[in-house]
Amino acid sequence: MPRGPSRKAPRLPVVAIVAAAGNGTRVGGAVPKQFLRFGGRTLLDHAVSRLARHPDVDAVVAVVPLARLRSASRLMARHPRLVAVVAGGPRRQDSVERGLEAIPGGREAIVLVHDAARPLVSGRVVSAVVRAARRDGAAVPGLSPADTVKVISAAGRVERTLDRASLRLIQTPQGFRAEWLRRAYAVARRRRIDATDDASLVEAAGMPVTVVDGDPRTFKVTTRADVARLRALMRRPV
């Protein structure tokens, strides 16, 4: 019997969660780093702008400190794809989970989780992460370390040297099928897992994560030296 025309699976929307609820204290000063101004705009604004303009991204959700909720919500007038600004929780993963709950239009999506402290996110990296997350379920961008990496003991002595060829420094945005990320958070709550990134939670839940090439410009602003580096880069043409 002849087969009818094949139907492609519907394209899942892409929603970016911008994590900006942390204290950002290591930079120094009274203002959390994600609200420092560069060219008259905050790091949060720069990060949201790059994601909201990307052709693969359908919507953006920002997660901010409760005290900044009203002021950050004004960004919605500037960025039509910024569809929600919500208050974060005590830990980064609590904040991201609140952003996950605010995703519009149902539960099925490709979710990108991005740090507001990485304002120079590369469009090429966003595209690569989305493509790999659609194909494989989870994807993160990574850079090969330029330096030799050694494991040391509590006494400060070298225990072993790691093979750089198998190491990557992981960046954001990290991309996941929404159901994978929700499952990972459920496992983390049950097992009381704390993690510094979402991919670690997905890995702990037993799901594979693909690594794509990152971009050195997508560095995280953490110290005053990073602030100076960012100011210098923003003065240069892209």
Phi, psi for residue 21 in degrees, rounded to 5? -100, 0
3 pLDDT higher than 60: no
pLDDT of residue 1 exceeding 70: no
Computed on alpha carbons and rounded to an integer, the radius of gyration of the chain in Å comes to 19
How sure is the predictor about 25, in pLDDT bands with cuts at 50, 70 and 90? low
Q: Indicate the Cα dihedral angle 48, 50, 56, 59, nearest 10°.
A: 20
Residue 10 DSSP label: P
Q: What is the pLDDT of residues 99-128, one digit of tens each?
A: 999 998 767 899 999 999 999 999 999 999
Which pLDDT belongs to residue 107?
75
What is the pLDDT at residue 28?
58
- As a whole number, mean pLDDT of residues 212-236 equals 92
Predicted confidence band of residue 9 (pLDDT cuts 50, 70, 90): low
Q: What is the pLDDT of residue 5?
A: 47
pLDDT tens digit sequence for 189-206 = 999 999 989 999 999 999
Query: pLDDT exceeding 70 applies to what percent of the chain?
Result: 92
Which position has the token pair 């960004």? 75
CATH number of 14-234: 3.90.550.10
Q: What is the pLDDT of residue 105?
A: 73
- Other CB atoms closer than 10 Å to residue 86's CB: what's the count? 20
How sure is the predictor about 22, in pLDDT bands with cuts at 50, 70 and 90? Answer: confident
Q: What angle is formed at CA 138 by the lines to CA 193 and CA 84, rounded to 5 degrees?
A: 80
CA quadruple 122, 126, 128, 134: dihedral, nearest 10: 180
* pLDDT value at 157 more than 70: yes
Q: Give the pLDDT of residue 26.
A: 62
